[in-house]
Amino acid sequence: MKKFFVTMVVLMASAMGVNAQILDPEQIPESLPMEFALQLKVTLGDAYTCGETQHGRRTIIPITGGTFEGPNIKGTIINGGADYQIANTAINRTELEAIYCIKTDDGVNIHVRNRGIICSDKDANGNPTFYFRAAPQFEAPADSKYAWLNNSLFLCAPSFSQGFQGIVLNVWRVK
């Protein structure tokens, strides 16, 4: 099955005129090339909880607005989305799924679904550690100048700024 899948990928790439390079899975790249795509400054409403569920503690954080900007995109975050979190306090791990829409300055609506994890632990020396990463997926109109968002993988990490009532997410496109 694996050989069939690899063959199909190479054939599809060839049909599109792309020279597909087969990589040895044992050769782990030192880093994946990424480029900055945009920064989201998301404003949030008051969080509320559904309490302890069969999956963990469910918390919902309303997304009330904000702005975003990157080299090829700029606009506002539309009120009405939310960040849905499920926390397992026994292992200090939270899974998140934020679902919302953004609107570009030229009036194009784009759907965003951002999934990730937040966890805290201690390193080998007993020092506290904090990990927060997510992978946003964008749905832009296929006939728009933002269609490039549909055909790439993205990663994001938060940055915290004094005085801003919300969360700032820096988003990179994996090349």
DSSP letter string, 115-155? EEEEEEEE-TTS-EEEEEEEEEEEE--TTSTTGGGGGSEEE
Q: How many CB atoms sit inside 10 A of residue 63's CB?
A: 24
**Consecutive H or E run containing 51:** strand 48-53
pTM of the model: 0.81
The burial class, CB within 10 Å (0-12 / 13-18 / 19+), for 139 is: middle
Q: Pairing between strand 93-104 and 73-77? A: antiparallel
Tens of pLDDT, residues 25-59: 666 677 888 999 999 999 999 999 999 999 999 99
What residue type is 153 in one-letter code? Answer: L
Q: How many CB atoms sit inside 10 A of residue 140's CB?
A: 21
Residue 87 reports pLDDT greater than 80: yes
Per-residue pLDDT band at 122 (split at 50, 70, 90): confident
Alpha-carbon dihedral 98, 53, 131, 64, rounded to 10 degrees: 30
